[in-house]
């Protein structure tokens, strides 16, 4: 029996050391590799020094071009069984070509998080106004969800928004959170103890606007209050792609330090007593908190920060939207070993009950292997309409650009 082929079309080449999105993509690659798939990862983006090195995995890399018929030739030769679009913008670009050349391939959209939700919250936060989910990004992203056979959603809150507010049929959506290894007693035994840890850490990719906003909130609203209560503590800011506006916030006298990229996020977080991330807007599930739980570091955040991460379980630290109360509770957590240890144990429970790899991976692959594509598409008539009309308009725009590029 020949192995099935998966083609992943990446928005970028994954950078797991830079972002949670990069980590998520490698998790998906491993999931399909472990199920015996032959994988090709293709992208039109340029590689960076931090792009993941696939040479250690059985993955073929392929550079592709936007608005170019060479992609059609590549598809015809490869003839994948499954297509995975990395974010809706990629499906917009390549979806019609995939439909044309590989009509019988299962088309999966990995949303990463709902871009329209993040965008709406960012605008609401900036203007201090009402949340408008029915925005232009929503029209594009939901159209992409409807055109695909299955969309991977990382957050239960986002599942509810799509089904309840936008009436998306549940058969088009699949809840697939981060896929993590269980935390074992041996792992816990090797964690750095309370007494040997010090200071606070924030970590995040600065190309991601919510992270930059969070650092501003830390600098102006949270750290001044914390410093009064904990004068010996330091606030360490780590993150990839720190621009000049980020670097200029470094202030040794205030013990507010911009450290730049962390070579290993988990190892860096593990040295600190608390991960401090008063996130004001965003979407999806935050990889920084998963990393913190994996190394036994309690977290302090907001409702938005912890959204959809803990279910009915207790949070691994503090959640509060009132920054004055958040500061007060953070001081308690920093100083009280009992509360700190309890928060650490909550993190173990969250990882092991909500993100443990075996059940999540098996259930997802079972769905993929038993997917009745013909019946599924027949039931998704709105998707058929959108594929007919939207892809026709996208197709001719792309062909026009292609011809223009030749001249």
Long-range contacts of 125-132 (CB under 8 A, 24+ apart): 125/213, 125/280, 125/281
Domain end call among 336, 354, 372:
354
Q: What is the mean pLDDT of residues 300-305?
A: 97
CA distance 4 to 368: 11
Confidence of residue 406 (pLDDT cuts 50, 70, 90): confident
Do 225 and 322 lie in one domain? The reply is: yes
CA distance 253 to 255: 5
Do 141 and 93 lie in one domain? The reply is: yes
Do 271 and 388 lie in one domain? The reply is: no
Do 198 and 122 lie in one domain? The reply is: no
**What does the buried/exposed string (b/e) look like for 336-345 if buried means 16 or more CB atoms within 10 Å of the residue's CB?**
eeebbeebbe
How do residues 221-279 score in pLDDT, each as one tens digit? 999 999 999 999 999 999 999 999 999 999 999 999 999 999 999 999 999 999 999 99
Per-residue confidence (pLDDT) for residue 214, from 0 to 100: 98
Per-residue confidence (pLDDT) for residue 396, from 0 to 100: 66
* Cβ contacts of 366 within 8 Å, gap of 6 or more: none
Structurally, how many domains does the chain consist of?
Answer: 2
Do 201 and 332 lie in one domain? The reply is: yes
Return the SS3 of 316.
coil
Residue 292 clears pLDDT 90, i.e. is over it: yes
How do residues 8-56 score in pLDDT, each as one tens digit? 999 999 999 999 999 999 999 999 999 999 999 999 999 999 999 999 8
Return the SS3 of 110.
strand
**Backbone dihedral region for residue 369 (phi beyond 0: left; psi -120 to 50: alpha; all else: beta):** alpha
CA distance 168 to 159: 9
Q: What is the mean pLDDT of residues 54-73?
A: 94
Residue 83, number of CB atoms within 10 A of its CB: 24
Do 295 and 154 lie in one domain? The reply is: no
Contact 21, 112 (CB under 8 A): yes
Do 197 and 325 lie in one domain? The reply is: yes
Print the domain residue range for 347: 185-354
Domain end call among 354, 376, 393:
354
Q: What is the mean pLDDT of residues 329-350?
A: 98
Long-range contacts of 77-81 (CB under 8 A, 24+ apart): 78/5, 78/7, 78/40, 79/5, 79/105, 80/5, 80/6, 80/7, 80/40, 80/105, 81/4, 81/5, 81/6, 81/105, 81/106
Domain end call among 310, 328, 354:
354
Per-residue confidence (pLDDT) for residue 156, from 0 to 100: 96
Residue 323, number of CB atoms within 10 A of its CB: 16
Which of 15-19, 194-198, 358-362 is predicted with the least confidence, judged by mean pLDDT?
358-362
Do 81 and 135 lie in one domain? The reply is: yes
Do 223 and 319 lie in one domain? The reply is: yes
Do 87 and 98 lie in one domain? The reply is: yes
Confidence of residue 134 (pLDDT cuts 50, 70, 90): very high
Do 193 and 325 lie in one domain? The reply is: yes
Do 274 and 373 lie in one domain? The reply is: no
CATH of the domain at 343: 3.40.50.2000
Per-residue confidence (pLDDT) for residue 390, from 0 to 100: 65
Per-residue confidence (pLDDT) for residue 394, from 0 to 100: 66
């Amino acid at each position: 029996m020949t192995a099935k082929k998966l083609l992943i079309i990446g928005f970028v080449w994954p950078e797991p050391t830079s972002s949670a999105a990069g980590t998520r993509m490698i998790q998906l690659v491993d999931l399909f590799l472990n199920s015996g798939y032959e994988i090709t990862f293709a992208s039109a983006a340029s590689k960076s020094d931090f792009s993941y090195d696939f040479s250690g995995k059985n993955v073929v890399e392929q550079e592709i071009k936007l608005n170019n018929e060479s992609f059609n030739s590549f598809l015809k030769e490869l003839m994948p069984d499954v297509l995975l679009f990395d974010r809706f913008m990629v499906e917009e670009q390549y979806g019609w070509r995939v439909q044309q050349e590989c009509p019988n391939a299962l088309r999966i959209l990995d949303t990463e998080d709902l871009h329209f939700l993040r965008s709406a919250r960012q605008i609401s936060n900036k203007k201090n106004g009402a949340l408008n989910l029915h925005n232009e990004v929503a029209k594009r992203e939901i159209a992409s969800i409807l055109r695909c056979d299955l969309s991977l959603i990382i957050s239960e809150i986002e599942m509810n928004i799509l089904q309840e507010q936008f009436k998306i049929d549940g058969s088009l959506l699949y809840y697939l959170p981060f896929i993590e290894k269980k935390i074992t007693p041996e792992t816990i035994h090797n964690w750095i103890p309370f007494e040997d840890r010090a200071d606070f850490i924030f970590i995040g990719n600065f190309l991601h606007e919510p992270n930059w906003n969070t650092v501003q909130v830390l600098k102006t609203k949270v750290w001044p209050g914390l410093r009064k209560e904990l004068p010996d503590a330091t606030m360490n800011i780590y993150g990839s792609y720190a621009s000049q506006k980020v670097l200029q916030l470094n202030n040794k006298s205030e013990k507010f330090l911009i450290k730049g990229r962390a070579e290993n996020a988990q190892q860096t977080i593990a040295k600190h007593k608390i991960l401090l991330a008063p996130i004001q807007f965003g979407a999806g599930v935050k990889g920084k908190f998963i990393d913190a739980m994996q190394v036994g570091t309690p977290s302090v955040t907001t409702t938005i920060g912890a959204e959809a991460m803990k279910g009915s379980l207790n949070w691994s630290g503090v959640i509060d939207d009132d920054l004055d109360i958040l500061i007060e509770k953070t001081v308690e957590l920093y100083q009280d070993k009992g509360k700190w240890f309890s928060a650490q144990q909550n993190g173990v429970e969250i990882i092991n009950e909500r993100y443990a790899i075996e059940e999540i991976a098996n259930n997802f692959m079972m769905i993929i292997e038993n997917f009745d594509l013909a019946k599924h598409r027949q039931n998704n008539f709105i998707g058929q309409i959108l594929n007919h009309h939207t892809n026709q308009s996208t197709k001719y725009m792309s062909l026009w650009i292609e011809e223009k590029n030749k001249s």
